[in-house]
Amino acid sequence: MMVAEQTPQWRGELHYDEPMAAHSSWRTGGPARCFFQPADIDDLCDFLRDLDRDEPLLWLGLGSNLLVRDGGFAGTVISTFAALSSFEWLDDNTLRAASGMTCSKVARLTARAGLVGVEFLAGIPGTMGGALAMNAGAFGGETWTHVLAVETVDHEGCLHTRYPSEYRIGYRSVTGPQDEWFVAVHLQLEHGDAAAAQERIRKLLAQRGATQPTQQYSCGSVFRNPPGDYAARLIEASGLKGVGIGGARVSEKHANFIINTGTANAADIEALIEQVRDRVKREHGIVLETEVCIVGDKPAA
């Protein structure tokens, strides 16, 4: 059994065989065996306490950095976007944002308050939980630069407060306590000009729209930039812009984006990722590492 056999007391919604295409920015992916949307943090803790200890978990925000294979995910997906989206001011320059709050909302909220430093979050199409998990960045900024503390939950439903010193933070990489997941972040910011911060956000979004395929189904950047270079430059130099498999295509607008033209399945996208990686390695001797998280099973033959 996935959960304890007693009558569950959760207030959230539990769905079975939930199609993950509905929860991924690539609009593709097989079903999750279980899909839970908690009512709030207490409900999430209760649910976790009832889970088998070895139940595979996938934490989901907006699904903007995720590829679920066509065979689906044989575990439980926990959706934080709707439930864990609250915020509060801890003092005049420290914001507590729940992990399901969108990065763009955090950017706009802090800018309007005259707090500066995280305007770059407006360019990240995901939630704060995902941004914390991968140290997401854009336009020269990185998430963990501004983290004062984080709140996590473990598999037993116990809450913890952690500090940056307890994590190893790198470029698009975060390693910390095992079997804990982010449920909130405390961001400490500096006071600045609200109007200027909002103008920076406007310019960043205009730049993003001009250089990235924001109106098409994608996951954002597929590959991490290798040291001293750019994945997009290497992909374009390898003649891969516009190359496709099935309904998946390397974007003509930004070579580090793979788009779903409307008919791609997860297998198309994964095969194209591997083709790009192989070509870049052959042409340039560099092995690109993915930013996107690939999970789940391939369909049975």
Q: Give tens-digit pLDDT for 147-163.
A: 999 999 999 999 999 99
Q: What percent of the chain has pLDDT over 90?
A: 89
What average pLDDT is seen over the chain?
94
Q: Judge contact between 213 and 254, C-beta under 8 A.
A: yes
DSSP run (H or E) holding 87: strand 87-91
Residue whose C-alpha is closest to residue 66's, from 31, 18, 27: 27
Domains of the chain (ranges plus CATH)?
A: 13-79 (3.30.43.10), 87-211 (3.30.465.10), 231-295 (3.90.78.10)
Per the DSSP assignment, residues forming a β-bridge with 140 are none
Q: Confidence band (pLDDT; 50, 70, 90) for 301?
A: low
Q: pLDDT tens-digit profile of 213-238? A: 999 999 999 999 999 999 999 999 99
Q: pLDDT tens-digit profile of 49-79? A: 999 989 999 999 999 999 999 999 999 999 9
Which of 172, 200, 249, 277 is flagged as catalytic? 172
What average pLDDT does this structure show over 275-301?
94
Which of 221, 238, 251, 277 is flagged as catalytic? 221
Sort strands 180-188 and 94-98 into parallel, antiparallel or unpaired: antiparallel
Task: Let me know if 291 is a catalytic residue.
Answer: yes
What average pLDDT does this structure show over 270-279?
98
What pLDDT was estimated at residue 176? 93
Residue whose C-alpha is closest to residue 267's, from 68, 6, 35: 68
Three-state SS letters, 140-200: CEEHHHHEEEEEEEECCCCEEEECHHHCEEECCEEECCCCEEEEEEEEECEECCHHHHHHH
**CA distance readout (Å), 275 to 9, 226, 270, 278:** 47, 18, 9, 5
Task: Let me know if 172 is a catalytic residue.
Answer: yes
Q: pLDDT tens-digit profile of 16-44? A: 999 999 999 999 999 999 999 999 999 99
What pLDDT was estimated at residue 28? 97
pLDDT of residue 5 exceeding 70: no
3-state secondary structure of 46: helix
Which of 119, 180, 270, 291 is flagged as catalytic? 291
What pLDDT was estimated at residue 7? 47
Q: Judge contact between 242 and 258, C-beta under 8 A.
A: no
